[in-house]
Homo-oligomer: A and B are copies of this chain.
């Protein structure tokens, strides 16, 4: 009984994610679903990438949070079109919310939309929101055992970004352990190390992302 209902909900989410994908394609917009733990630096990565992509691509943002609008305010302060999505307790974003929010963004004037998912290494990975690309963000202080402990988030993603890389001297973080575990669950997928504070590594990540956007919008 329970499984049957869950299955219906998943199918329904899948139908809507297709709708979202069609809308994005019709407007030549690439949508990036950014996922990671609370405090991994998702909003900081988005603001850093906005800076890096300036002059190349026109960016919009959907900020997902359980409550509040702290993050959307940070983005809007940069003059970037931003919408705050409050899930009111839900631990992930679903495609229906994205479908309902897309008309609030000037799609014809955008090339890429970053969706900041709820801070959570588990549930967001289970829901296709119609994105063109997934990026998983892990930060050095979280530790090097996360790929083993939360495998789906690292298996079902297009790219792993390791943030707060300037903090490596202060934490016991074995980058090779992460790299090997990630390669095992997601062979050949790219991994970038960055610091949104020192800006280390952001240009390389932005170049890769720019290529992905180019492929998605052409």
Contact = CB atoms under 8 A, between A and B. Distances in A.
Query: For A126, A139, A141, A146, which residue has the most chain B Cβ atoms within 10 angstroms?
Result: A141
Interface stretch (A13-21, A64-72, A104-112): A64-72
B9 A141 contact: no
B67 A148 contact: yes
Contacts of A39: 37, 139, 141-143, 146
B5 A149 contact: no
Contact of A152 (B2, B89, B170): B89
A164 to B, nearest CB: 7
A139 to B, nearest CB: 7
A78 interface: no
A150 interface: yes
B9 A149 contact: no
A1 to B, nearest CB: 7
Contact of A1 (B5, B91, B120, B141): B5
A101 B89 CA distance: 29
Nearest to A152: B89
B149 A65 contact: yes
Given A91-B91, A141-B164, A164-B141, A119 B150 contact: yes
Given A39-B37, A121-B119, A151 B67 contact: yes
Nearest to A12: B2
Given A68-B148, A120-B122, A122-B123, 18 more contacts: A37-B38, A38-B150, A39-B139, A39-B143, A65-B149, A66-B150, A67-B149, A70-B145, A89-B122, A91-B91, A91-B120, A91-B122, A91-B123, A120-B123, A123-B123, A139-B141, A141-B142, A167-B170
